[in-house]
Amino acid sequence: MMFGVNIMQIFAEQNVVMLNDMKLIQSEYNEADFDKSGDVTFHTEYDAYTKDVKEIKYIFENHTTMKASYGYDTDLEVFVNGQWYEINVKRSVDAVAMILDGNKTREGIFQWNIEGYDLPEGKYRIIKQLSDREYGQLGVFGERKYYAEFEIENTENVENTATTAMWCGIELQPSKYNETDFDKSGAVVFQTEHNVYAEDIEEITYIFKNQTAKELKYGYDTEIEVFLKGKWYEIPRRHDRDDAGTSFNFNKKRAGIFR
């Protein structure tokens, strides 16, 4: 184990993070640098790992008919005090391309080399790039970047610790959903008005954008979950009546309020 402290304690001064005697620099990426269209989804095999993990399986799922490729090169970043910082890992030779065919899934393994040390507890993400560049030219797919988040936890068996969690004095049950339960096709976009809110917020505006040729409906009932230690937990709340369906037509936006 590299450190006996949480990653949040590794500071020398404001905006400087030290990891294994290395000064980390703030990430060069913004959210706008990553593809959020839903054409391709990118995630790790698990949401959380033990500190002795040496490699992580990542998965690309291509929901389009377009073909793209990627190399071995992978960026690793850590989330500290609300900011992402780049961890200097040994670079791979990125000349070998793996092909991600249309409507296919492809897996790969990310292995880091940080002086042979384990990663401390904390929140991390790996970043990879997909491209359909051939002979120096980009095609319809273009060049897109993706990230997959995961957590390192100090536990004997991360996979078997997901029972309940305490939150604001309430015992929460783990979410009943898996990633495969959600539509990632990009046919309908669902988002909140803002990504960040103040603690005293009482209502949130959500937005549906229907990009299909069908009329769709949704009700008032809404579920809310909280992300704790690498897992989603359901927050119990009084359910609304869900029998009043609201329609919205194709190629239209529709907003609602969640209180």
Tell me, yes or no, whether 85 and 69 share the same domain: yes
pLDDT digits (tens, 9 = 90+) for 49-77: 888 788 899 999 999 999 999 998 899 99
214-243 confidence digits (pLDDT tens):
888 888 788 899 988 778 899 888 766 656
Tens digits of residue pLDDT in 151-160: 998 755 444 4
Which of 129, 158, 187 marks a domain boundary? 158
pLDDT of residue 15: 58
Q: How confident is the model at residue 9 (pLDDT cuts 50, 70, 90)?
A: very low
End-of-domain residue from the set 158, 192, 220: 158
Distance of CA 150 to the CA centre of its chain: 8
Residue 254's pLDDT is: 78
Residues 6+ apart with CB under 8 A from 182: none
- Report if residue 252 sits inside a domain: yes
Q: Residue 1 falls within a domain, yes or no?
A: no
**If you count them, how many residues does the chain have?**
259
Which pLDDT band, with edges at 50, 70 and 90, does 115 fall under?
low
What tens digit of pLDDT does each residue of 122-168 get? 999 999 999 998 888 999 999 999 999 999 987 554 444 457 888 88
The CATH number that applies at residue 152 is: 2.60.40.2550
Question: What is the SS3 assignment for 74?
Answer: coil
DSSP assignment of 139-204, as one string? Answer: -SS-EEEEEEEEEEE--S-GGG--S-EEETTEEEEEPS--GGGS--SSSEEEEES-S---TT---E
pTM (predicted TM-score): 0.57
188: amino acid identity, one letter: V
CA nearest to 230, candidates 170, 154, 156:
154
Note whether 26 and 120 are same-domain residues: yes
Domain count, the chain: 2
Q: What is the DSSP letter of 136?
A: T
